[in-house]
Amino acid sequence: MKATPGEKVFYAINYILLALLGVTCLFPLLNTIALSLSDIHEIESGRVTFYPIGWNTDAFSSLLKGTRVVDSFQNSLIITLVGVLLSMTATIITAYPISRRIFIGRRMFTLAMVFTMLFSGGLIPTYLVVKSLGLINSYFALWLPGLISTYNLLVMRTFFMNIPDELDDAARIDGCTELGYLLRIVLPLSLPVIATLTLFYGVGYWNMFLGVLIYINDTAKFNLIVLVQNMIQSQRLLQEIVNSGAASTTDIEVVPESLKAAGVLIVVVPMLVVYPFLQRYFVKGVMLGSIKG
C-alpha cells in the first residue's frame, strides 16, 4: 500500500529522531576512545571530547606491563567460552523434551521452570549451597548456579515447537532416532535462535561481576571486568600503574583518566567485535522464538 504524504512525513520524523538517539548512544564510547588515545596534556587541560587530540597509546602499554590484564583476559575467555558451551548444551537438551507433544508432563515442567523466574532462593542460600558443594574459588561456582536462563529456555522451546510436525513424521518413516532427529534436523534449522542465545549467554558470562566477587577468592582467577573495576576504584592502584610505566621507560607518559578509558575499552571491544557476526540472526531468532507461548 502506498504511503500518504502525511505518513511519509511521520516516517521521516521517526527516522530522524531514531538516528539522533542512536548517535547519542555513541558519545560515551567515542569519549572513552578519545581519552585512551589522546596526549596527556590535552587530557589534563580538558580539551578531549569525542575525538583523540594527539596520539598516545601509552595507556595500553602501561596496562599490559603494569597489570594482570593479559591473564584476566584469558580468564574471561575461559569463563565465557566454557560457560556458553555448558549453558547452550543444557538449554538445548532441556528445551527439546518439553517442546515435544508426546512428552508427558511437559506443561508441569514448564510451569516449574517459569516459577523460578518469579522466585529464587536468594543470595545467601545460594552461597551456602555452592560452599557445601566445595565450589568456592572454582569457575564451576560461576557456571552451575546460573547454567540455564529460564527466558532463553522458553525462547528455544517455542522455536522448537514451531518446527513442522511433518518433518518429524518423515524422519520417523526413514528410521531416524530421537537423538538423530535433534542433531540432524532440529539443530540445523535452529541456527538463528542458537546464535541469538549464544550471544545472550556470551554477554552475560563476559560481564560477570558479582559472581566473581562472591565466589572467587584468588585474585589470579579474576576476570577482566573485575580487574578493571578494581583499577578504576583504587586510586592507589592507578598510581602504581602510572609509576610502573614511568619507571620502565622514560618515553611512557600516562594519566589515570587514560588508564581508566583504556581498561574500559579492553572490556567492551571483544563484544563489539563479536556482535556484527551474530547480528543478522539476532532479530530473527528472538522473533521466531516468541511467536507462540
HEC sequence for the chain: CCCCHHHHHHHHHHHHHHHHHHHHHHHHHHHHHHHHHCCHHHHHCCCCCCCCCCCCCHHHHHHHHHCCHHHHHHHHHHHHHHHHHHHHHHHHHHHHHHHCCCCCCHHHHHHHHHHHHHCCCCHHHHHHHHHHCCCCCCCHHHHCCCCCCHHHHHHHHHHHHCCCHHHHHHHHHCCCCHHHHHHHHHHHHCHHHHHHHHHHHHHHHHCCCHHHHHHCCCHHHCCHHHHHHHHHHCHHHHHHHHHHHHHHCCCCCCCHHHHHHHHHHHHHHHHHHHHHHHHHHHHHHHHHCCCCC
Structural contact between residues 60 and 262, judged by C-beta atoms closer than 8 angstroms = yes
88 vs 93: CA distance, rounded Å? 9
36 and 81 together in one domain: no
For 291, the domain range is 57-293
Neighbouring residues of 48: CB distance < 8 A, sequence distance ≥ 6: 31, 34, 35, 38, 42
Same domain, 194 and 243: yes
Residues 4 and 73 in one domain: no
- 61 and 51 assigned to the same domain: no
Q: Is there a single domain that holds both residue 48 and residue 88?
A: no
Q: What is the pLDDT of residue 292?
A: 45
> What's the pLDDT at 288?
54
pLDDT value of residue 201? 93
The last residue of a domain, from among 17, 35, 56:
56
Same domain as 81, residue 204: yes
Same domain, 29 and 76: no
Rounded to an integer, what distance in angstroms lies between the CA atom of residue 256 and that of residue 240?
A: 10
* pLDDT the model gives residue 281: 66
Count of structural domains within the chain: 2
Take residue 265 and report the three cell numbers written for it.
575499552
Tell me which of 56, 76, 103 is where a domain ends. 56
Q: Say what the pLDDT of residue 289 is.
A: 47
What count of other Cβ atoms lies within 10 Å of the Cβ of residue 63?
A: 25
Q: What is the pLDDT, as a whole number, of residue 262?
A: 85
Global pTM value: 0.82
Count Cα neighbours of 198 within 13 Å in the Cβ-side half-sphere: 17
pLDDT mean values, one per 10 residues, the chain (293 residues): 79 91 87 85 79 80 79 92 95 91 85 86 89 92 91 90 84 84 88 88 92 90 88 70 56 73 87 77 55 44
CA 197, CA 147: separation in Å to the nearest integer?
A: 13
